[in-house]
Amino acid sequence: DVERSRGLGDVYKRQVFAEYFGPFSAGERNLARAWSSLTDGYPHVAADALVAAKAAFEQAAAAYAKRTV
């Protein structure tokens, strides 16, 4: 029925959104951690956070590209 198919479409949209927004959010958090670590004088922690942020943003970009091409 129409209501059920509409509901399944909403579930699919949320799943697609989560596939790229989850990693994007992780990248954003790690970027903020890098910034705060630098300002607190912990460059080694900042470097690790930047590596994690880059990986997360790359994962988000790949997930987004997979769904928009």
Within the chain, what is the greatest distance between any pair of CA atoms? 59
Distance CA 16, CA 36 (A): 31
Q: Per residue in 9-48, pLDDT tens?
A: 677 788 888 888 999 999 999 999 999 999 999 999 999 9
- Cα R_g (the chain), whole angstroms: 17
The letter for the amino acid at 9 is G
pTM: 0.77
The letter for the amino acid at 22 is G
CA distances from 51 to 3, 14, 32, 54 (A): 44, 28, 12, 5
